[in-house]
Amino acid sequence: MEISVQDYARECADKGLRGNYAVCRSDFTVEQEYDYTDAEQEVWRILSDRQTKLTKRLAHKSYLDGVEALGLIDRIPDFDEVSQKLRKLTGWELVAVPGLIPAPAFFDHLAERRFPVTNWLRKREELDYIVEPDMFHDFFGHVPALTQPAFADFMQMYGQKAESLIELGGGDMIERLYWYTAEFGLMQEAGQVKAFGAGLMSSFSELQFAVESPDAHHVPFDIETVMRTVYEIDKFQRAYFVLPSFSALKDGFEKSDLAAIIARWKDAPVLDPATI
């Protein structure tokens, strides 16, 4: 059952979440309200400059191409300005949200090629870790890959199919697919492994570990295995799945019998990422 904006705002307030959910529209979007302080702009520059030094070396070319196409380095991005560029590339646009929003609303936005981005930024004392996803994670992490047509199509299909797959009992399985691709995905590039997932792009420490550490466990991407493998929320992943290309991700999601995979494995023991 879908939750009302008012009920969700009350729940978020009770949990102490930072965003102002009381001003959400019916689709859980808000105005970006580009009125950021000099201190917030400085935090953005620190985060962006520090992370860019890593992404130039460790990020997949598709991510770097997206950064160049959109221009998101020197200041907090204006979502409307970026949306104008993104629409021309892949038909996507950005919508501002106060933070995490209910899954049905998130899926609806993806299905319509709208990517929700949090409208507030972490504080200076939170440079290295923040509990809630903020604008830096959502924007610097996720948005550059949306310039790539195959990945953009995958994200739309994910939004279109997710709710029906959840209704089949595949909620955890479909979450794992998003986690191991959009959040912590790696991809081959000229015989090397590079990163594109937002959880890595926005993390100073885990990006280096996932790509460069000999202790990082790299596993060839297989959609069925991904959907069966549990993940870590508050520590480095014990497995990172490596895609051959965004086209392989799109084709795998589009052509696999996801309902059959869910029926086959939803009640089976999950896979340990350390042993796959």
Yes or no: say if 155 and 133 are a contact pair by the CB < 8 Å rule: no
Which positions are annotated as active-site residues? 137, 142, 183, 202
CA distances from 185 to 121, 161, 226, 246 (A): 24, 20, 11, 10
**Tokens matching residue 197:** 């997932």
**Tokens matching residue 48:** 């962006």
Chain centroid to CA 70: 17
Yes or no: say if 116 and 109 are a contact pair by the CB < 8 Å rule: yes
Chain centroid to CA 67: 15
Looking at residue 258, its amino acid is L
Range 15-23 contact pairs with CB under 8 angstroms and sequence separation of 24 or more: 17/99, 17/100, 17/132, 18/99, 18/120, 18/132, 19/97, 19/98, 19/99, 19/118, 19/119, 19/120, 19/132, 20/98, 21/98, 21/99, 23/98
Q: How far apart are CA 93 and CA 100, in angstroms?
A: 18
Q: How far apart are CA 45 and CA 74, in angstroms?
A: 6
